[in-house]
Amino acid sequence: MNAIAAVAPRRRWRSWLWKLPLLFVAVTVLQVLLLRFVDPPFTAFMAARQLEAWGTGDFGFRIAYDWRDLDEISRSVPLAVIASEDQNFANHNGFDFKAIEKARAHNERAEERARRRNKPVQRLRGASTITQQTAKNLFLWRGRGVTRYARKGLEVWYTVLIETLWPKRRIIEVYVNTVELGNGVYGAQAAARTYYRKDAKGLAPAEAARMAAVLPNPRRYSIARPGPYVQRRSNAIQRQMRYMGGPAFLQNID
């Protein structure tokens, strides 16, 4: 009788075990579907940054975040981040495999040059799309070591969900509102008020390009005090914005 009683809990556990993947799918689909219509009050990255500040004893630290619908943001902002981060945004399905291959080849050459000079690699090229970055910002963590690989797997899953359930316009709207543009400064409106003392609606192309130029390292590079690298990158982004056709390019995602 005791043996039979011991088997019953194990059977119940096994019956739940196969349901866990289904529960995960249901919860994540609901998450992404909800945020198609509801503007996120915060993101995983914002929460992590706030906890990081508290963990160091900085209890006065506050996240700067102020949502604005895409129509309330200068069209130069989405154009600048697309020119900077993901020029195939309008055409890919969440992953830009050509960009991934180019980045891999570039990084191999950079690492080889660094080895020959016996110096560390200065700057590696990434190939994350805006959709991937949105997935990471909203739901995930930075991660190192083993946790980094777990995060990458979840990033792929959330990227697929976002591309399936959201239109491109919603993806870029969420991205420009939640991307970090300075230490604790998230989104175009908060950055516009912090660095330019104006609303995001009034940002000029050069100002939007400078904001995009600090990505993906907004704590290393400064919008307020742009060094030579940010200035060069900002100029290059402005050229790309013109080459892409200016704000008319955004009709591809409207």
Phi first, then psi: what are they for 186, rounded to 5°? -120, 125
At residue 253, the pLDDT reads 87
Q: State the Cα angle at 25 between 19 and 29, rounded to 5°.
A: 150
Phi first, then psi: what are they for 203, rounded to 5°? -70, 135
CA distance 83 to 86: 6
Q: Evaluate whether 119 touches 126 at the Cβ level (below 8 Å).
A: no
Please provide the distance, in angstroms rounded to a whole number, between the alpha carbons at the two ends of the chain.
Answer: 67
Could you give the C-alpha distances from 27 to 31, 48, 97, 158, 162, in angstroms and in order? 6, 21, 28, 11, 14
Strand order across the beta sheet in which 185-186 lies:
64-65, 185-186, 180-182
pTM tops 0.85: yes
Tell me the pLDDT of the chain (254 aa) as tens digits: 455 544 556 666 666 677 788 889 999 999 999 999 999 999 999 999 999 999 999 999 999 999 999 999 999 999 999 999 999 999 999 888 787 777 666 566 655 665 666 666 556 556 689 999 999 999 998 767 677 788 889 999 999 999 999 999 999 999 999 999 999 999 999 999 999 999 999 999 999 999 999 998 999 999 999 999 999 999 999 999 999 999 999 998 87
E-strand stretches of the chain: 64-65, 180-182, 185-186
Question: In this structure, which amino acid lies at residue 151?
Answer: R
Q: Evaluate whether 162 touches 94 at the Cβ level (below 8 Å).
A: yes
User: Rg of the chain over CA atoms, in angstroms?
Assistant: 21
Phi first, then psi: what are they for 180, rounded to 5°? -80, 130
At residue 13, the pLDDT reads 63
